[in-house]
Amino acid sequence: MFSSRKSDDSVCYSGSYKSWSDAKSASKGYNQQNIFDKKIASLERILSNEKKCERDTILYDHYQYSLPTILGINFASNRYDETISVLDYGGGLASSFFRNLKVLEKYNLNWTIVEQEQLVTAGREKLANFNQISFLNIFEFNNFHKQLHFDVVLLGSSIQFFENPSTVIAKLNKTCVKSIVVEQTPFVEHGPSKITVQNIKQPIYESSYPVWHFNEMEFHSWISPTFEEEYRFVNPHIKNNCQGFSSVLVDLVFVKKRN
């Protein structure tokens, strides 16, 4: 077992694995009842105003602002009075929305979250009073993504958990998109993309699931050449030491080039 350099030791990695199916066989998976229950409990405490927001089900008394998310929305906006459509792919129960709420209130936003069916059902029920938030399950998105309009794509530490990330990104490279935000995503320091199992422990929750550590050049090749990188930040506090390689967490913001 090789651990991330984190003060709480709640996340570590095992492997690497030759294939996604091998890593999946060696992990519990994301679709577990304990994860769902904790996400619901965290959301309810936010909606009752006990806490401001959560990240990975860990609750906070103060907003945990994301500079990449705010930059991506700002780059997409010419005026504060225009509506900006955000597609939050793998956005849970609006975690990024609530983490940045005080800033986002200054914008006119439509915020669409693409998630698993169980989370979509819960989100539609729990967040029905938030008119700017809507949910799509992955089946709905795959069937209707060509008809959808969105200005900002948010990949908030999510794209690494999909088996075929390049296929997901291909569906998000739409002409209407003005910016793409990639937040806290693992990139190898050297060499090709790798697959490991990410092991999660308390105080988050107990689970494990496959995860990519991307080669950054390969990842950039999946982004349409109509975009350019406007922001890049490497988390200085975390280095993932894995079997035979290491990775770091990177924030990226891509912006549509001006004609």
User: 164-221, pLDDT tens digit by residue?
Assistant: 999 999 999 888 999 999 999 999 999 999 999 999 998 889 899 999 999 999 999 9
> With bands split at pLDDT 50, 70 and 90, how would you rate the model's confidence at 32?
confident
Q: How far apart are CA 194 and CA 203, in angstroms?
A: 27
pTM for this prediction? 0.93
The tokens of 22 are what?
């091998």
41-86 tens-digit pLDDT? 999 999 999 999 999 999 999 999 999 999 999 999 975 458 999 9
Q: Give the Cβ contact number of residue 86 at 10 Å.
A: 27
Q: What is the pLDDT of residue 258?
A: 82
Strand arrangement, sheet containing 2-3: 2-3, 11-17, 194-200, 207-213
What is the amino acid identity at position 1?
Answer: M
Give the list of residues 6+ apart from residue 96 with CB closer than 8 angstroms, or none. Answer: 66, 69, 88, 154, 156, 183
Q: Looking at the predicted structure, is the pLDDT value of residue 5 above 60?
A: no
Which whole-number Å values give the CA distances from 21 to 31, 64, 175, 196, 197, in the listed order?
Answer: 16, 34, 33, 11, 11
Q: What is the mean pLDDT of residues 29-40?
A: 88
210 phi and psi, to 5 degrees? -65, 150
Q: What is the pLDDT of residue 8?
A: 46
Residue ranges of domains in the chain, CATH in brackets: 30-185+216-256 (3.40.50.150)
The tokens of 21 are what?
């199916």
Angle between helix axes 117-126 and 33-47 (nearest 10 degrees) is 20
Q: What is the mean pLDDT of residues 246-253?
A: 97
